[in-house]
Amino acid sequence: MDAFYYLVFGGLAAVVLVMELSKTSRDRVATSSSFNAFKNNYLLVYSLMMAGDWLQGPYVYYLYSQYGFDKGDIGRLFIAGFGSSMLFGTIVGSLADKQ
């Protein structure tokens, strides 16, 4: 089964690579240097935030296991947390932007 995932990932990566390399100069958007600086700063901070979130996962898993939750319950808790963030975070984010 792992080989299947590697095959699908490799195939999709190849498709993206071909699409990116086949762009012409007409397809590319000219951006200012200030926008590129903002984009790079944003990506750096976002990457650090995602790395911190990724690093806390094993600790939260261990905490739940110490409270007596089994593997299935922990999985459902993670799914519920990410699902609620996906739904309510989008709504709350758009409401916060309007204020």
Q: Tell me the pLDDT of the chain (99 aa) as tens digits.
A: 899 999 999 999 999 999 999 988 787 788 899 999 999 999 999 999 999 988 998 999 999 999 999 999 999 999 999 999 999 988 988 888 886
Assess if residue 17 is contained within a domain. Answer: no
pTM score, whole prediction: 0.53
Assess if residue 52 is contained within a domain. Answer: yes
Q: What is the pLDDT of residue 33?
A: 92
Assess if residue 95 is contained within a domain. Answer: yes
Assess if residue 44 is contained within a domain. Answer: yes
Query: Which position has the token pair 């007596």?
Result: 68
| DSSP element (H, E) containing 87 | helix 71-98
Assess if residue 96 is contained within a domain. Answer: yes
Assess if residue 66 is contained within a domain. Answer: yes
Query: Which position has the token pair 């609620």?
Result: 84
Q: What is the pLDDT of residue 27?
A: 76
Domain count, the chain: 1
Domain limits for position 77: 40-99
Q: What is the pLDDT of residue 29?
A: 82
Assess if residue 98 is contained within a domain. Answer: yes
